[in-house]
Structure 1
Amino acid sequence: MIRILIIEDEEYIADYINLALSKAGYDCECIHDGQAAADAIEQKRYDLILLDIMLPEINGYELMEYIKEFHTPVIFITAKTRLEDKVKGLKLGADDYITKPFEMAELTARVESVLRRYHKGKSRITIADMEIDIDSRTVKKAGQKVELTMKEMELLLLFVRNRNIALYRDRIYEEVWGGEYDGQSRTVDLHVQRLKKKLGLETSIITVRKIGYRLEVDE
């Protein structure tokens, strides 16, 4: 199993990330200060580190210098939004840099991207009788290949990465279509209906009144 170390001094944020990534199938550990993190990195091996910059004891930039010796991929997660902070983090050797606040779908996608770059990521996701191959962008239902459009695949991955979480229509539209939802478009609803029909998910993708949709699966 992929092991991820979350180094974040705000415990509620660390717990939020931990919960979401654990649901996505990762083995996560949370540490809240730089010194304890350095000790853990020396004693254990991780596949990925999510690193805040503003930490007690040892800050994220200083810790990054130490992490480089272990050749572990790092994603900075920070409230520092200035370009010079991002450039500094990337020059120190971080693989990505994401600013707070962020959507978990974005963080999960970036985690998967970095892990794939190091040939550590999950290339397949299995839920019930459905298997999704992320690299080839293909889906099998009960062993049979199901043809999905590019947008249907993006929609499915969004639901899978946020399973059992209600997603607002505007967020779905922004994540999949990359634009601002005007509140009137039927694009989201039409694609969800097509996806449900193609994959037999009529009872699994639930309409949440006045919100949007939720993919319900047994954990």
Structure 2
Amino acid sequence: MAEGLRDDVARHNYSVDIATTGRAVLEAFTSYDLILLDTDLPDLDGVSVSRAIRQTSMIPIIAFASADEVDQVLLLETGCDDCIERPYRSRDVVARINAVLRRTAPITSPVPFASPVPFASPVPFASPAADLDSVVRARPRGVPPLAAVGEDLVLGEEQGQLIRVGNRLVIDPALREARLGGELLTLTRKEYELLHLLASAPGRIFDRTELMIKIWDYPAGKPVNAQASRTIDTHVSSLRRKLGHRDWIANLRGVGFRLDVPGPRRGGRQAPSRLVAADPEEAPRHGWIRAEGAIESA
């Protein structure tokens, strides 16, 4: 099976080598640009291999997994960028490889970002952390700053600055790190990108199609299927757990998701809260009053 897949992928101008054990993968992965990881290895399971790689590198990983949702969740939580269910078609594998490499390739020009308000100057992509392996080319998705409109101020960050949501959540785009109450959150690549996107406009609703296009490079115009929806739900659920409160990410059923700051509840609903910069003098233009409305949690 591995030889057949290698030949199919090689026909699309990729150079492919086969490692037959998990240990062989761990010894050689720094020489490659992407890993196709089978979870059924003779010495180590795929989850252990993915976790070990993520301790030192952000090299893209695509895992082959069973249809069991639990297996896929474990692989995604340990750092895999994508999962492909077995049995698979070679052309689907090649399409996923192309999509992942597009997302992680160096970008020299800003990427337009759909916004409900006009935005100012775009922000270049931040560089990956300096201590990552030299083969890493993963960069956060570009998010231009949002400008103030009328009396409502929307969070907008310039290069090198932190994204602050409330007085506890801080995101550092340059280091691809997120801290909650000063504690570093352990996030997978996709979890970080999802949190970064939601935090770029707290209170703004992102529908499933937009999330799939921006985070998973889903084809524009293609309806979001059940598997894609499960992918979003899995990552949202994992993020909520790591943030320690499900109300950080509100699910407006049938509409989309938005980032909120958990606050006191009244009658089973979250009370309106104000999002402000941690240091008003350092960033006086930050802060945004979110719209009131009923929130439903998934």
**TM-score, normalised relative to structure 2:** 0.34
Which of structures 1 and 2 has the bigger CA Rg?
A: 2
Greater fraction of residues in strand:
1
- TM-score normalized by structure 1? 0.46
